[in-house]
Chains A and B, each alone.
Chain A
Amino acid sequence: MSSWSSAQHPPGVAPQAAYAYQHTTPAFIPVQVRQSFGSYVAPPPPPYNPYASSSPQSQPATPTTSTSQAAPVDQSKGTKTEWPESVRRYVQRSFHPENDDPSVSRAELEAKLKDTIGSAKENNSLYTIDWDKMPLPQALVRADREAQLKLHHRAAPITQPIYTDDSFNPRKRKSNDFPNDSSAPPWHSTNAGRSLEDRISYSPEKRAALDDPKSSKFQKEANKRKRRFENEYKAANVASLSLNPPPPSGPIVGTSEVLEKKYLRLTAPPVPSNVRPERVLRQTLELLKKKWKKEGNYSYICDQFKSMRQDLTVQRIKNDFTVSVYEIHARIALEKGDIGEYNQCQTQLRSLYAMGLKGNPIEFKAYRILYFIHTANRTGLNDTLADLTAAEKEERPIKHALDVRSALALGNYHKFFQLYLDTPNMGAYLMDMFVARERLAALCNICKGYKPDVKLRFITEELGFESDADAAQFIIDYQGQHLLEDRTEYIAFLTGKANGLFENSRAAAFQKVDIKGQI
């Protein structure tokens, strides 16, 4: 009994931190752990087309006949609709010279008119709307412009009214503004030394937050809140104006062009001008990937990803892009040990994969198994097993995870720690979460099974410690210093004298599995 003083850890203070985190990189030494983004294959850049969004407004207005029937006739391609007399009157009124507004071009007017009547038709509210009291398209266009201007005048450099078809100013941010690095998988360039971020214009409020450390945090928060409410309030007003018949019950189509957006839980139906269409979200994703590499600011990244997920959800976008958003967020959350957020992503991924969308199902199904091992969720494990196909069970990451599961189920700690040292992808982050408790379980086993003692080196090797010192530290951390004995050639671990010393710690470690531990 010489060098193993308990000085480093006063006895009685149970170090509850997950053991694996106390060392530099215990989990990853033999594993090629990706720092981020795993095997994400960047989706091809979206075809650039300012009119690509499927929203009916963005179709270039067809300069059709000048008869007052123009809009309705256009709408009813294929199916002939009987237009109520009130609608006809409304259209006539719109084109009446008396209501002419020089600031609203004919094309804009027609587009708006088409949109208003079209959505009324879709909602079957043609007959319920009081068309005689409906604001004229000119007024609606003006209201839209005003709202857009107010909404974006700080945030983004864009905000041209969408409806001026001839003078449409393409967004300042184009996908090719960003060097196209999608040819190389992101993890090949983890040490981002490039100055991409120089070209990214932070929104003023973000910049203010960065530049002005003096203004109190409280003040900043208060300002942000104020702006947020202002925006929301306006947005809500605009919505009630332009969508006079209640908003269509189908998914909305976003019109926001802002790349970054703070996450905010929805308490009312979403407003299109606050929601980014997929085209914009794709750019957001690229931006966030770069920012994450450069800054590694998790709370910012997590917040941004949540708002992205929200935008995808409210627009009911479920495609390969959706998959990549959730995959990347899941990986980042894993890396940061944000198990709650990770779990949300994984749940979504499960159903997205089930829809047959492309992504990395093998990688994430393997994580899912490891996750359920961590949370000791037998129902989840059983369901996951049921989901796997025979071919998937042979894929290395999944096979690894399944082997981990069965090793633990059978108490085969020898095999478990061998598997631990050879974990594919980012699985080691998950395994780190339960390796300490499995070490305790194995120690209990060994203490009961071996007499009178074993070499400390045996513990080091069997339990996958990096060094004898780490193994000894682990034992000391759980009040086992008296079980270590220095015998000049080797250090002995006196299993015969343990008397169930680790049983309580083991039981405690298995009891509390903090599933919802969100950062």
Chain B
Amino acid sequence: MNELFKGFAKAHAEQNGYLLAATLSPVSPADHPQRLRSVWKSSNAHSIKGDIKHWIKSNASRSLDHEEIKGWVEVYAAYWNAVGDIIAGEDGKSTWTKVYESWKELTSVLIRGYNNFGFEAWTIPCLYMVGKYLRLFAIKSDTERSRNLGDNSAGASLMQDDFDPETEKQGQLRDCEQHLKRIFTLCLNDRAPLEESRKWGIYFIINLLFKTYFKLNSASLSRTILKTLSAYKGDMPPLSAFPKSQRVTFKFYEGVLFFLEENYVEAEKHLTEAWELCHKDAKPNLERILTYLIPCRLLTSHVLPTKALLEPFPRLQKLFLPLAQCIRKGDLRAFDLALQEGEDEFVKRRIYLTLERGRDIALRNLLRKVFVAGGFDELKEGETTPVRRTRVPVAEFRAAICMGSGGELIDTDEVECLLANMIYKDLMKGYIARERGIVVLSKKGAFPGTGV
């Protein structure tokens, strides 16, 4: 334990928040795998606070304020307690739920340290450390409880009209969200001048909250956080002043949020930003970004991913290449099959409903082929450049659609419906003359953005 307080003293001497946070890690560092155990053994419940006080004072090179010492003693005592539960858990004598509870206590004590004992802003990485593991322990506790279901009869749920399946499954994570939000407020509401403000912790905590909301399947709650944030925009340092890693994560989640709200234009903007900020070696993160950026671009600008782009990501290749090929070829049937093939994966990533709309592009490409195959009208007097045949019988489109659907017979009314859709979505310019059974296409740009 004394070693921890050497780190503590060094961190205080250098005002190095990350070094300080490392002393509150619930995981032994790689170069000292027994650290947690030795911390636990170095004291006992009776004398822990006195010991900590002694260690802090004997190691400190710079004299700490009396109040501050009091606060840190509380923090490390709570930490010592939690370590006890973690070690007991490793020995099979405790549960993740207990670990979560004691870690939660540590979180509360730490927050109190900022509110009551004047912890300085440079120490906020401690909040990151504690918040990060609070979330992980909550998730572990939830899985543990769902494994031995039935022992979680919370008194409150007995007063409800119906069971709440979500509380039963993710109760701890929901609880955890409350505490992360306390940290969020703690950072947000700091009125100290910017250079020594806890506001610098805001994006780390927001990212933790985003992760939590996505895991809780209520991504939309992230919006409230963003709203609060924009209300404080004036006093907040600009996002660009924050560490890159925090910016990437933030932009990614912001983009996915827009994506889920079907605002693909905004989504593309944020995801592109994330893509550009992301470290080139952070493959898993790049992959995550592309998972949403590719469907986005398919819908906004009808752009398909190239092989070169997907080269480093075998999983994405498997996910997107078959679809991309079908869209390019205008093969409706193969598109449906490919979509079905990947359905489970797509649904898991929440991109199924978006990719499905790629069928419109496949259909557009098919219809365009019909148009191109129709060739040119004979030159009329005074015309010098040949004009494509713009009056196309519905029957020709129908034949193509039937072929594209693998020989399935599609009746004329449905074909017309699909054509009307193309026109409505501005993928095709022209109109259907139903009485005459023909489609009259625009002479200029019948298929916008495709060169014909």
Contacts and interface: CB of A to CB of B under 8 A. Distances in A.
Interface of A: 249-252, 265-270, 306, 309-310, 313-314, 316, 318, 344, 347-348, 350-351, 354, 378-379, 381-383, 385-386, 406, 409-415, 444-446, 448-452, 454, 458, 461-462, 496
26 contacts: A251-B153, A251-B158, A267-B159, A313-B160, A314-B159, A378-B260, A378-B262, A378-B353, A379-B220, A386-B344, A406-B356, A410-B356, A412-B418, A414-B413, A415-B414, A415-B417, A445-B420, A445-B421, A445-B424, A449-B419, A449-B420, A450-B432, A450-B434, A451-B432, A452-B433, A462-B417
Interface stretch (B161-169, B230-238, B270-278, B380-388): B161-169
Contacts of A318: 163
Contacts of A316: 153, 158
Contacts of B343: 385
B348 A414 contact: no
A309 B431 CA distance: 56
Interface string B175-215: 00000000000000000000000000000000000000000
A310 B157 CA distance: 11
Contacts of B219: 379
A365 B431 CA distance: 40
B350 interface: yes
B352 interface: yes
Nearest to A316: B153
A93 to B, nearest CB: 33
Nearest to A417: B417
B347 interface: yes
Contacts of B217: 379, 383
A306 B419 CA distance: 49
Contact of B425 (A267, A309, A411): A411
A265 B161 contact: yes
A269 B420 contact: no
A348 B353 contact: no
Given A378-B260, A386-B348, A409-B353, A269 B414 contact: no
A270 B158 contact: yes
B142 interface: no
Contacts of B352: 382, 385
Contact of A268 (B153, B159, B262, B418): B159
Nearest to B262: A378
B174 interface: no
Contacts of A445: 417, 420-421, 423-424
A296 B15 CA distance: 74
Contacts of A449: 416, 419-421, 423-424, 431-432
B85 interface: no
Contact of A269 (B158, B356, B357, B418): B158
A64 B433 CA distance: 95
B353 to A, nearest CB: 6
B126 to A, nearest CB: 35
A449 B195 CA distance: 60
A410 B360 contact: yes
A496 B433 CA distance: 10
A316 B260 CA distance: 36
A458 B165 contact: no
A318 B165 CA distance: 12
A450 B153 contact: no
A266 B160 contact: yes
A410 B160 contact: no
B165 A313 contact: no
Interface centre among A314, A354, A415, A450 (most CB of B within 10 A): A450
Interface in B218-245: 219-220
Contacts of A379: 217, 219-220, 260, 350
B420 A309 contact: no
Contacts of B155: 249, 269
Interface of B: 153, 155, 157-163, 165, 217, 219-220, 260, 262, 343-344, 347-348, 350, 352-353, 356-357, 359-360, 413-414, 416-421, 423-425, 431-434, 440
The 5 closest A-B pairs by CB, nearest first: A449-B420, A351-B165, A414-B417, A451-B431, A411-B421
Given A249-B153, A351-B165, A378-B262, A314 B434 contact: no
A8 to B, nearest CB: 28
A265 B352 CA distance: 41
Nearest to B413: A414
B329 to A, nearest CB: 18
A257 B163 CA distance: 23
Contacts of B420: 445-446, 448-450
B357 A313 contact: no
A446 B353 CA distance: 24
A348 B166 CA distance: 10
A413 B417 contact: yes
Given A350-B165, A410-B360, A450 B431 contact: yes
Given A382-B350, A385-B347, A385-B352, A412 B162 contact: no
B147 to A, nearest CB: 15
Contacts of B153: 249-251, 316
A309 to B, nearest CB: 6
Nearest to B418: A412
A130 B419 CA distance: 84
A458 B347 CA distance: 37
A379 B418 CA distance: 27
A100 to B, nearest CB: 38
Contacts of A414: 413-414, 416-417
B161 A454 contact: no
B276 to A, nearest CB: 28
Given A249-B153, A382-B350, A415-B414, A409 B357 contact: yes
B162 to A, nearest CB: 5
A448 B426 CA distance: 10
